[in-house]
Amino acid sequence: MNFDAKRLLLAGLALVAIYHVVTLVRGLPKLGSVRPTAGFILTGVFTDFLDTLGIGSFATTTTIYRATKWVKDALIPGTLNAGHTLATLAQAFVYTQVVEVEPITLVGMIIAAVFGSWVGAGLVAKWPTQRIQLGMGLCLAAAAALTFAQAAGAIPGGGDAIGVTGVKLGIALFGNFVLGVLMTIGIGLYGPCLLLVSALGMSPTAAFPIMMGSCAFLMPFASARFIRLGKVDPKAVVGNIIGGVPAVLVAAYIVKSLPLTAMRWLVAVVVAYTAVTLIMSARRNTAADAVTT
């Protein structure tokens, strides 16, 4: 990526960061008085630390919220987007500067993901609880399968390219649009984006600025729609911000890498269990609604 493109991208990240902070302050009344619990803060630390190393934060955060019942199911998608945005922006600032990606590929995939999230957030924010549970359950099942594949080494190794053109670029744009839609349901973009980039023959390293840049630009706009409709948990959002941003900096600049295979196996099992419980909850709620009717 040339210097001018990189500088423009960093300026764009700064602008969306400001936009997100303004959205939080205006959309969440008395934000300054919100006191998140230690559990919410530690959740941000744990999930965004792993997120920076490439595991993703959405599936792990959803699992924690479901196990502890700290956040209502209907509020989880919006809370994930709003709470992890600033940590994701921090990741994007770091990896955009150290990893080279061809500008058209990077910017095009980011725009596609943003558009997908805008479409998805407008739909998901209006869904009833059981549909959100079912959507998250199915998406988490897919995320678990993908994590199992990563742990088993079945994900394509990719190539050496730092960009794509022609038909491959079209596939990349459409694929990231779909992933942007799925982000609003609660499935993280990182794993699927890494698979998409590798399958197109690009270097897996190039996936980091693509997936982090995509999330950094799409999440503020998706969050704004969820916040406007009151579909977030303020304490969870603030807790993720307080714990997540420092965790990103530690993971990116101090730890940098860890042997993550065992962690992926564990995450895959836990996420699969959470997916099953969400789908079962959706079925119970649907059955209860039918009986009531």
Residue 262, pLDDT above cutoff 60: yes
pLDDT tens-digit map of 265-274: 766 776 677 7
Q: Which residue has the higher pLDDT, 31 or 239?
A: 239
**pTM, entire model:** 0.79
Q: How confident is the model at residue 292 (pLDDT cuts 50, 70, 90)?
A: low
253 contacts: CB under 8 Å, gap ≥ 6: 94
Backbone angles phi, psi at 163, to 5 degrees: -170, 165
Q: How confident is the model at residue 8 (pLDDT cuts 50, 70, 90)?
A: confident
Beta bridge pairs of residue 161: 202
Length of the chain: 293
Residue 291, pLDDT above cutoff 70: no
* Section 84-94 average pLDDT: 92
Q: What is the mean pLDDT of the chain?
A: 83
Residue 144: count of CB within 10 angstroms of its CB: 22
Residue 9, pLDDT above cutoff 60: yes
Beta bridge pairs of residue 202: 161
What separation in angstroms does the CA of 143 have from each of 115, 121, 186, 246, 256? Answer: 22, 19, 10, 26, 24
Q: Are 141 and 200 in contact (CB under 8 A)?
A: no
Residue 101, pLDDT above cutoff 80: yes
